[in-house]
Structure formats: C-alpha cells, structure tokens
Amino acid sequence: MFEGWFGKRTSAYCSQQFPEVWTDFVDCFVDSVLAKGQTVPARYSPQEELRPTFLPAVPRLVAIGDLHGDMQKARRAFRLGGLVDASDRWAGGTTTAVQVGDQLDRGDNEIQILYFLERLQREAEEAGGKLHILNGNHETMNVAGRFTYATLPALASFYEWQLMHSWASSLKAKCGCDLKGKGVRGPPQVVPPRIALDNTAASAARKTALAPGGMVTRRFLAEHQMALQIGSTLFVHGGVLPMHAQYGLERINDESRAWMNGSLPNMPSYLAGRSAVVWTRDYSAEDERRCDCGALQQALSMLPGAARMVVGHTIQEAGINSACDDRVFRIDVGLSKGCGNGEPQVLEIIDDKEVRQLQENAPPKRYGEADVQHKGWLERMTSWREPTEQTKQYT
C-alpha cells in the first residue's frame, strides 16, 4: 500500500513539478559557466513595463564610463565608486549608479560583464539602491549586426554561448525522472579563441544572440535606456542634442527598446549617424572651444530641471573633465585595455549638487556647483554657434 501511494506521489512530482525544477537548475548551471562566476536568474519584463526616463534626485549618485569588455577594469571602477566589495557583491547600499554604455566590443569579457551588471542591478535593488545601465553606440552596432570591433575571444564566447544553450535545450527536453535523459553528453568544452579565425560559426552565433529579439539582446540590452535624467543630471552615451530633446527622450527610449526586442522592424534613425544620441561628439572635444555649448544650453533648457549632462563615448586622455562651466561632464577615460588602457575614474554627485571625480590613490577632485540661472559662461565662449535648422527639430 505504501509503495503504491509513494509511487503515485513520485510519478505526480516527476510529471508536474520536476520539469520546472530541472529547467531552473540547468539554466543556473549554464549561466554560471558562461558568467564564470555568480549569477541571478534571468528576468524578462513585460513589454508594457517601461523603465522611467525621468527620476527624482538621490543623495548619492555615481557615474561610470565605457567598459568595453574589460572585466578586471570594470571591477576596479565599481570598487572605486564604493559599489562592490572584494567579492564583487553590491556594497553601495542606497547609492544610485549609472553606467553610460559601451559594455561590448574591444575587450574579451563581454558576456562576463553583462552577467556582472545584471547581478549587481538585482543586488542593488535588494539593498535599496539602483544600478541603471545605458546602451551606447557599440550596443546598437552589434544589435544591427556590425561586429567590426569584436575581438576573437569575444566572438568565440558567443559560440560557446550557443553550444551551451543548445546543450541545455537537450537536457530540458529529456527531463523525465526515468532514463529519458540517457545519451545526453556532458557540457561542451570551452571554445578556443582561434575558432573565429577560420570558422564563420562564431560570427553567426554572435549575430543570432545579438539580433533584435535575440536571447542576449532581450535579456541584457533591450531593457537599458538610451537617456536617463536623475534629478538635474542627464545621462547619455554620446549626447542629447536639441533635436533629440524635441523628439522626446521617453519616445527615444521606448522605440529603441521596441527595436531591440524585435517588435520594431528597423533601427530608429536617431541611433545612426554623426548626430545620433549614441554617436554625437558635439560636447566631447577635449579642446573646450570646439564644444557646442550653445546646443548644450538649448538641449538642457528643453528638459525641465536639467542642469548638467554626463556623457561617455569619446576618450578623455586627461581623465574625467567638464566643459561649458560644468554643464557637461565627459567620463570615458578609455578604461579598457582594448582602447586606451586608462586608469579607472568615476564621477560622484552628492545631493544633486556637489560633483566630485574619484580616482585610485588620489584625493577626490571637486567641481563647482552648477547654477541653472547663470548664463554668463555662454557669452564667454568663443566657439559656440547658433543651432542649425537640423538641430532645432528631429526629422
């Protein structure tokens, strides 16, 4: 009698509950292998759940520039900002942090970084903090199928991604409690980087994973904003021009998200070209006289409460700096060993007013507080120009 009852219970568990438990286990195992460390379960937000574009000011805000596939430097930057501990766990408490895009290309550790950021986002939320991640031009390029700057090991890692998920699918299809799983071999071996030299399979795997609606794009990129305003600070990878502000940052974020999720057929035009929100360098010239402070002032004035802009994209060889009387902060320090190998620096904003540059083994550098009513800096600039018809509205 007991054996009959137990057998029925076991059979019911196997047919109803075990497949779900087994699927979660397989996903967790695959993620751990690909991330080469700690992970959290994937979480896909419903299409109607849109992330806000405008958020209120916070007591402490940290901004981190381009990472470009360098996991070691990414860890250092997050530790410099007081965001993670020695075990790479969130240690920022209620701090809000923003990474301004370009996680992909030029470095070998792209997938590791995507998993790293995903996990920190979840841990930050649990601690009462926030980690916002923006998309940059290298994310949009890859989703559009342009892999010009992908390293060979990075290409190979996407082939490994494909093999691991194919193996996982086989395991999930044979998840019964009997011997249905017989014949499924162990996980595939790590793919050597040289595979990309003579095998187009690596590029094909990358294209599949990063295409609009692809597994990597939906999980790691589509939820990220193109622009985000927190208090009086606007974060964007390249820059928000007047035409972008007029078109609407919420509209840009929503349409970009729809394209990456695969529900919008074509890449929005404001993501391509020299004037794109992820490509423009109008505010990033190290020679301040070449910065378009007029367009900057106009764009900020079109966004209620915006006093300053924080951008990445253009490497600042001298490190983090500001232009146009601290109306724009340029924080791409060329951190990745694949493009500059610069020392980590991050930007810190306290109470929406005090702005400081943090760097390793050096005291913080403090910038003056932005005054949204002050206009004198504009007249002092010798290089500013009236906005053209093209920048007055987006067409």
Residues tagged active-site: 138
CA angle in degrees (0–180, nearest 5) for 326-328-330: 115
Measured torsion, CA atoms of residues 385, 390, 394, 395, in degrees rounded to the nearest 10: 180
CA 301, CA 99: separation in Å to the nearest integer? 24
Alpha helices by DSSP H, 92-216? 110-126, 137-143, 152-173, 195-198, 201-210, 215-216
Residue 350 makes CB contacts below 8 A (sequence gap 6+) with 59, 60, 61, 356
If phi > 0 it is left, if psi is from -120 to 50 it is alpha, else beta; for residue 101 that is left
Other C-beta atoms closer than 10 Å to the C-beta of 59 total 11
